[in-house]
Amino acid sequence: MKRLVRFVATLSLIISCLGWLGSSQTALATNLNDLGSAFRPSVLLAAEPTEPLRNAVEDKMATEFGKKIDLNNTNLRAFRQFPGMYPTLASIIFRNSPYEKVEDVLDIPGLTEQQKETLQSNLKNFVTSEVSKELTEGDDRINNGIYR
Average pLDDT of the segment spanning 85-90:
90
pLDDT at site 99: 93
Answer yes or no: is 41 within a domain. no
Least confident of 27-41, 50-64, 70-84, 134-148: 27-41
**Predicted local distance difference test score (pLDDT) of residue 96:** 93
What mean pLDDT value characterizes the chain? 78
Q: At residue 135, what is the residue type?
A: L
Give the count of domains, the chain.
1
Quick check: 129 pLDDT over 90?
no
Give residue 95's domain range.
76-135
What pLDDT does residue 19 have?
66
CATH code for the domain in which residue 93 is found: 1.10.150.320
In a domain, 106, yes or no: yes
Q: Specify if 129 maps to a domain.
A: yes
Q: Is 126 helix (H, G, I), strand (E, B) or coil?
A: strand
**Is 90 a domain residue?**
yes
Evaluate whether residue 26 is within a structural domain.
Answer: no
Longest Cα separation, the chain? 88
Residue 31 lies in a domain: no
Higher pLDDT, 27 or 57: 57
| Residue 109, domain member (yes or no) | yes
CA 38 distance to own-chain centroid: 38
Please check whether residue 7 lies inside any domain of the structure: no
Calpha distance 124→67 (Å, rounded)? 11
